[in-house]
Every structure is written in C-alpha cells, then in structure tokens.
Structure 1
Amino acid sequence: MAEEPEIETGAVDAQESQSATPGAKLRAAREAQGLSIQDVATRTRIAQRQLEAIEKDDYTALPGIPYAVGFARAYARAIDMDEVAIAAEVRHAVHNSDLGANRYEVFEPVDPTRVPSRALAWTAAVIAILVVVGFALWRSQLLTPPTTEEIAQQEGAALTAPQQPASAAPAAPVNQTVVFTANDDVWLRIYDEAGERLKDGLMKKGESFTLPADAHNPMILTGRPQALTVTVGGKPVPPLGAADRTIADVPVSAEALLSRAAPSSVSTIPAPAAAPPSAQGGGGVAPAPVPAPSPAEAPGT
C-alpha cells in the first residue's frame, strides 16, 4: 500500500514534464483558441506536417535547427504567444536532441516565409558570376600591353592626321553691313518680304541708312537709283538701276548686292570716222594733206 502513491506521483511528474515542452504549449494555446492545425498553417504558410512535428517536439522531421526555431517562432506569433520565449525553449530542446549533435547552420531565419526562394537565389548567383567574369575580362584587356602591330598602326594614324596649327586664330567675321547714302535728294522705300517698311520717305543729300542685319529678303522701290550710293562692308556696289528709271522689288540684301555683276572698267574708244569718198565716184585717191606753211611764208611777214 505504501508504494502506490510513489507510482502515481511519478506518472504525474511525467505528464507535467511532457506538457511543459514547447510543442505542448503551442498545441494547448491553439486548442484554447478553438483553432485547427490547418488554421495555423494558413496563417503561417508553413506545411501542416511541419507544424505537427513542432507540436510533437519531433525536430528530426524538420530540415534543420534554423527551420525548427523559425517555424516555432512563427507558430507562436500566429496564436499570440511569446515568440521569443518559445524560440529559446525550442533552441534549447533542439541542441539537446540528436538534431543538435550534427548541426551545421549558424543562422536562424526570423520568419521562414521570408526566406528567399530557390529561383531568386540562383538568379542572384548567376548575376554575381557574370559580374565577376565581366570584371576579369575588362581588367585583362586593360592590363594587356599593345602588340607591335597595334603600336605601328597608332603611330601611322598620328602621322597621317592633319596637323592643326596651335596658334591659329579663328577667322574674323566678314562685315556685310549694307549702307545707303543719298548723293542727292531722293525718295525711296525699303521693305522686307512680309511687306514691312524698313525705310520710307525722302532722304536728304548726305543722309545715310543702314539696313538691319535681321531683315528678311529686303527690297527697294525708288525712281532715282543714281541718287543712291550703296556699300556692302564699306565697299561700293554697282548702281541699282538706270538713271531716272523707277526700280521696284530689287533685292538689296548683302548676298544679292554682292552677286551683282561689277561694272566694266574698260572705256569704249570710238573708232575714227572713215574718209569721205572723192568727187569722181569714190574710186579716186584722197588728196595729200597740204603742209603747214613755214614761219617765213606766213602772211604778213
């Protein structure tokens, strides 16, 4: 009769020890909330068989220590338990189990649902390999000395390249200012392509007008072209028209004036008049000229 209480006490201690495991605490909290193991799997996105292994404290059925601790932490978070305490208990239990004797992992994922997928890991590895290979090729090309043929080609290209004088100054812009100067009183009208009047009225003798540089296709109308002296860049150009002849729509831009033909500088000498024919029908010989009288023979001497 005295041994029976000892047996009952040992059974109670075993039951209390078993209910104090992390898996038992998780299962009891889940059942107290009326949740099924499938509900927890949906919340944590962890396979149901792995959650069942956590509840049974069967850590050998899991991939490794990090997964055992991470799955337990996610389980505790899903049912509002102290995930830090549960993770510490699972870590202690795993290290004392067969799984802890052959552990190789030194990290613990915070949440297994956030672990990168295998495809993402392979993609990152391929990108890293391509970067390393590209850098190696670039460095090998950079450090490879040029061959004798490449050096000869570079020297030949440098010799054949046109040499530009270092001290060559840029060419000065050509002065193409158009100036109209009245050498007599003259009426004129200068207008552009759109019909806008740039100059309209009487110009007194000695008055000048400078054509705007931005005038678009300027033209002139006047009745006395000879009363105007036109210069382009300070150089005179030929008259715009005949004297006392009205001209209209005559282009007076610098390009148009410079393209006008320069006046001929050779004067025309009239040919000598032919000798009149003789009285006998033009067939005779012209009489010889009479010599001028000498001073002794001049009248009055």
Structure 2
Amino acid sequence: MADEPEFEPVADDATEAQPSTPGAKLRAAREAQGLSVQDIATRTRIAQRQLEAIERDDYAALPGIPYAVGFARAYARAIDLDEVAIAADVRNAVHNSDMGATRYEAFEPADPARVPSRTLAWTAAVIGIVVIAGFTIWRTQLLTPPTGEQIAEQQEQKPAAPQQAGAPAPAAAPVTGPVVFTANDDVWMRIVDEAGERLKDGLLKKGESFTLPADARNPTILTGRPQALDVTVGGKPIPPLGAADRTIADVPVSAEALLARATPAGVPAGQSSPSGPGRAPASVGTPSLQAPVPAPAASTPAPAAPQPSAGN
C-alpha cells in the first residue's frame, strides 16, 4: 500500500492578518474607515504625535500610564470601537512592559474632548482672582478706622445747628434706661468721654453688643459705618447716627443726646413763644388785666406868636 502523502496544516491568512495589539487594532479600524491620524486628532483633541505613538504601541512616548489608557479610550470611541476592551488591552500591554515596572497608574485622565479649552480656563481663573481681590479690598475698607482727613471732611460737611437769640433751651428728655449699641454687621467704632478716655475702641462683630457705662460723661462716637449699629436707650430704638458708609465723628451718644434725636422736631402745641429780653412772657389763654392804653391824639400845631410891628 502506497504511503499517503502527509499534509501540513496551512495557516489561515485571515488569522495571521488579524491585528493583535491595541495600537494595531486602532490603526486597522481607522484605515478601514478611510480616516487619517489628523482626522482622529481633530475629533479627540489629542496631539497627532501621541496618537501615532498609541498606534505603534509606544507607550513610553506618552506622559504616563493614565494618559496612555485615556488616549486609547478616546481614540476607540472616535472610531466606534469597544473602548473598554481597548483600555484593558492597553493596561495589559503597559504593565507587561518595562514602563509598567517603573510607573504607577494612579488615575485615568478625563476625556480630552470634554476638557475646557485653555483660553476658557485662563479666563475663568482671571475672573475668579478679580472677584476675590475686589471683595478683599471692599471688606478691608469697611473694617479700617477712618483717617484724619475723612474725619475733618465729615466735620466740615456737618451743618451747624441754628441758634435763635433768646430761645429757651429745650427741656432734657428723661433718661429711661441704658444706651446699648448692637452691630447688625461687622463695624469698627470708637467711643470716648469728655476726658478723652476710650470707652470702646475696636471691631464690634455682627450680633455683638456694647452697653455704654452709666457714669460716662458726654461720650461721643467715631465710626465709618453708622448704618451697621442699632442703638437703643432703655430698649427704645434711636434713628441712625448718620448716612450709610459715611464717617461720623464727635457725635454725642449720651442717653439725653440720643433721646433728643428721637424727639420730633418743632415746638409742641400750646407752648408759649419765646419772650424778648427784659419782657415778661405773655400768658396763654388768659385775657390781659392791664387797662388798654388809649392812642395818643393827633398833635395840633400851636398858633404862631404875634410879631412886633416895626413902629413899636
């Protein structure tokens, strides 16, 4: 019986032509779609040289393992390949190489296509810095004690109280309780008595209160934010001590002075008008008991004296 010829297995050309590495798979899929590396760079926003390194499986040319995995995922997504499988192949290829022995994969970078542009990032950073700097300057100015020039300017703008000659001084309002300053916002203030002793000098934080000592003599206040202080006398609210964000200086804050600020302006009904110097005040609602003085009669010119004749 003749020996039958031995047949050697023939390798399947399709099997040999099948790409085996992640880079080869990506390159083959790109070429099958008729795309260039530049087309993939435009879709993924990844540099062309880095895409070419991925196709060569040259991961050492990339910044690190996280970038190699992240770039490969973005590449696979751009050409409709299984990005999870490609990422797993890249991890295995990297860890089995010298690069995997020297580098540690801590994280994967975000998809470059979703990362904001550098111009937008710089613009946002500049805006944030400007906002923070502006807020810091504004806050510093509010909490800084007013300068001597500001105090002098405020005193010059303070209108002088009109004085009426002979007008009686208004009666002092009764003191009904302690003077309390409560901060509705952080505010710097200084209160001194007539001897120059500082009763309060510093920052009064929001919600804090300061009670004026009962024995303070003619105390006055200096502050740059009068609207930040709620002032009460015995629990009675007092109008603001000055315009908002305008420095006030030497403003009396005794109980009498503050209650006088809260008293409506004008003379109460029924009060007699002021009397001139040296005159008795006229009674109100009572008829005068003095007899009326008759008006003087009209004066009549006296007859002229006779003149002597020339013969006498």
| TM-score, structure 1 normalization | 0.43
Q: Whose RCO is larger (CA < 8 A, sep 6+)?
A: 2
Structure having the higher helix fraction is: 1
